[in-house]
Every structure is written in structure tokens, then in C-alpha cells.
């Protein structure tokens, strides 16, 4: 019985995950002659706040970059 574990950063829709399950199952059927009913697949969604690469969290790496002018525009006015 093949067991496939897939981890993705962030999240995917139900339809996207169903497509992944269908595609991976079909690949194992075609390439290894496995019975599709025996193929077990788990998809684990890992929050980008809980995953780091290159020395930083993905949530920080993928955050929109702001310019100094944008940061100043959001700063509270001094009193």
C-alpha cells in the first residue's frame, strides 16, 4: 500500500487538493501498477509563520516590500 505525504507552505483550496490527490494517485497507478484504492495520500498545510528558509520565516520573506515613504505615511503623527 503506497503512502504519500505531501507538505505545502501556506494553503490550498479543496479543489486544488483534490486535484493533487487525483494526479498523484494516477501517477502511482501508471508508473508502479498500484491499485488506486490502495493509494493513501496526506496533504499537510504548513503555515508560512511556521516555516523558514534562507534564515527567515516565509511570511516575512513573502511580505510586500514597503518603501520608506510608505512607512512614513503609516506612522503616527508626532505631537
Query: For residue range 52-73, what is the model confidence (pLDDT) as tens digits?
Result: 999 999 999 888 887 666 666 6
- Domain of 42 in residue numbering reads as 3-48
- Name the pLDDT band for 7 (thresholds 50, 70, 90): very high
Q: Span 2-14, mean pLDDT?
A: 96
Residue 65 lies in a domain: no
Contacts of 29 (CB under 8 A, 6+ apart): 35, 36, 39
Q: What is the pTM of this model?
A: 0.71
Residue 27 lies in a domain: yes
Quote the pLDDT of residue 75: 65
Q: Which CATH number goes with the domain that contains 22?
A: 3.30.429.10
Q: Where are the alpha helices (DSSP H) in the chain?
A: 14-32, 58-61, 68-74
**Could you say which of 2, 36, 64, 77 is catalytic?**
2
Q: Which residue carries 500500500 as its cell?
A: 1
CA distance 70 to 13: 32
Domain count, the chain: 1
Residue 56 lies in a domain: no
- 68 assigned to active site: no
Residue 22 lies in a domain: yes
Cell numbers describing residue 58:
516565509
Residue 64 lies in a domain: no
Instruction: Compute the mean pLDDT over every residue in the chain, rounded to the nearest whole number.
Output: 90
Amino acid at each position: 500500500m503506497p503512502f504519500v505525504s505531501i507538505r505545502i507552505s501556506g494553503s490550498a483550496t479543496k479543489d486544488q487538493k483534490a486535484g493533487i490527490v487525483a494526479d498523484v494517485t494516477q501517477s502511482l497507478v501508471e508508473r508502479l501498477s498500484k491499485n488506486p484504492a490502495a493509494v493513501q495520500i496526506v496533504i499537510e498545510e504548513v503555515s508560512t509563520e511556521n516555516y523558514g528558509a534562507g534564515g527567515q520565516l516565509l511570511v516575512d520573506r513573502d511580505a510586500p516590500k514597503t518603501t520608506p515613504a510608505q512607512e512614513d505615511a503609516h506612522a503616527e503623527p508626532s505631537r
